[in-house]
Chains A and B, each alone.
Chain A
């Protein structure tokens, strides 16, 4: 039972264009969502997060959008750069109900930004 899904295993975009990575979830108790970036042979690095009380959070070139009614979130990277090429994981937590801090991760999307 995959509670967090990233349905696109890979995405390829041209440098300077927008990258849009998508994530769907099924558990309506999730109240906090995160995006991580991972390079090969390294641990994931926290990128950006959003609380369920918001629908948008922006940090530099990265923006996360949350659509609670559709149980969908997306990460926008504008403009995309070759250094953004990595695997991106979305993750969700139900902090408000459990506070264990457990994260449920999606399968990941490999982003390739071509120069």
Chain B
């Protein structure tokens, strides 16, 4: 079974703080993704990485950056947290083959006050 873990389930941060969200997968997947989920908007892609040190912007990258130094770990960084970044953050991974299934972690509920 694929296991994707995220460093925190719940996080509360203050406006302007730098926030690190970490994601680790144990299946040697090449592709990793960061989404945020907001009511009525579904899941929106922030950034993704198709290999170590490789990254691409998703649909809503503003205010975020990412780091992938090792294959199993993909970090999302909020350089200066703002209240509109309060959301559920979901990490996913995928084997880069002919199937599109992504496997998700449990999510981090981030509140920025």
Binding site for B on A (CB under 8 A): 4, 6, 9, 32, 34, 36, 41-46, 49, 89, 91, 93, 95, 99-103, 105-108
Contacts and interface: CB of A to CB of B under 8 A. Distances in A.
Interface on chain B toward A: helix, strand, loop, or mixed SS? strand
Contacts of A89: 42-43
Nearest to A48: B101
Nearest to B56: A100
Nearest to B106: A43
Contacts of A95: 98, 100
Interface of B: 4, 9, 31, 33, 35, 40-45, 48, 50, 56, 58, 90, 92, 94, 96, 98-107, 109
A49 B100 CA distance: 9
Contact of A108 (B31, B42, B99): B42
Contacts of A107: 40-42
A43 B90 contact: yes
Contact of A102 (B4, B42, B45, B105): B45
Contact of A101 (B31, B44, B105): B31
A114 B9 CA distance: 29
Contacts of A36: 104
